[in-house]
Amino acid sequence: DARVTQTPRHKVTEMGQEVTMRCQPILGHNTVFWYRQTMMQGLELLAYFRNRAPLDDSGMPKDRFSAEMPDATLATLKIQPSEPRDSAVYFCASGSGTSQETQYFGPGTRLLVL
Amino acid sequence: GNSVTQMEGPVTLSEEAFLTINCTYTATGYPSLFWYVQYPGEGLQLLLKATKADDKGSNKGFEATYRKETTSFHLEKGSVQVSDSAVYFCALIQQIKAAGNKLTFGGGTRVLVKP
């Protein structure tokens, strides 16, 4: 049963610290998405990769957030420095890249910045 | 741009009641439509989808029909169970050549089923 995995599942950190979240997409999927979920904003798309290349990161605060895919089996989302307003659940999803693809979501990383 | 509007929750029902969650969308062309479900403490899971007008998606007793004339994709279930308590998200995906596939979500509808 192929699944998207995310680590860590929970992270508590202090303001100003660096946070790195990791995602392993489903093997064979060539698109990866990062979403943020908060009560106020709902689900927001932060970044989108296809074949490891960033296709759209317009939803991401550029000054402190960065997203990369070092290889096809790993995607990372980094926040440096973190702020309390970054507290949210961050989801990674992967897809097959077809025009009507289904996105498969990971369990999320719940981040709390104190 | 694309948008998805769904009814606000929470929706509170008794077990075996009929559930409807309304969803309407705005998009150019012919998007694919999805319903995702999020159980407490978990990520989103695909519940069902439809890729063209008049298609009906179905899964686990849930159904939704792609209505292009009313730009709607309402979710229904004839007899809900306590285990259906979750947040339901309507979404559409549209391929944009320069920017790839973008999934647009509605705000989510929380459903609570009481025994």
Note the pLDDT tens digit of each residue in B66-111: 999 999 999 999 999 999 999 999 999 876 655 566 788 999 999 9
As a whole number of Å, the end-to-end CA separation of chain A is 36
Average pLDDT for A5-10? 96
Residues in contact with A41: Cβ distance below 8 Å, sequence separation at least 6, in sequence order: none
| pLDDT over threshold 80, residue A59 | yes
Distance CA B22, CA B37 (A): 14
B114 DSSP β-pair partners: B14
The answer on pLDDT for A39 being more than 90 is no
- Sheet containing strand A65-71, edge to edge, reads A5-7, A19-24, A74-79, A65-71
- Chain A contacts to B (CB-CB under 8 A): 4, 31, 33, 42-43, 45, 48, 50, 55-56, 91, 93, 95, 97, 99-108
Q: What is the pLDDT of residue A108?
A: 95
* Residue B96, pLDDT score: 61
With 70 as the cut, is the pLDDT of residue A78 above it?
A: yes
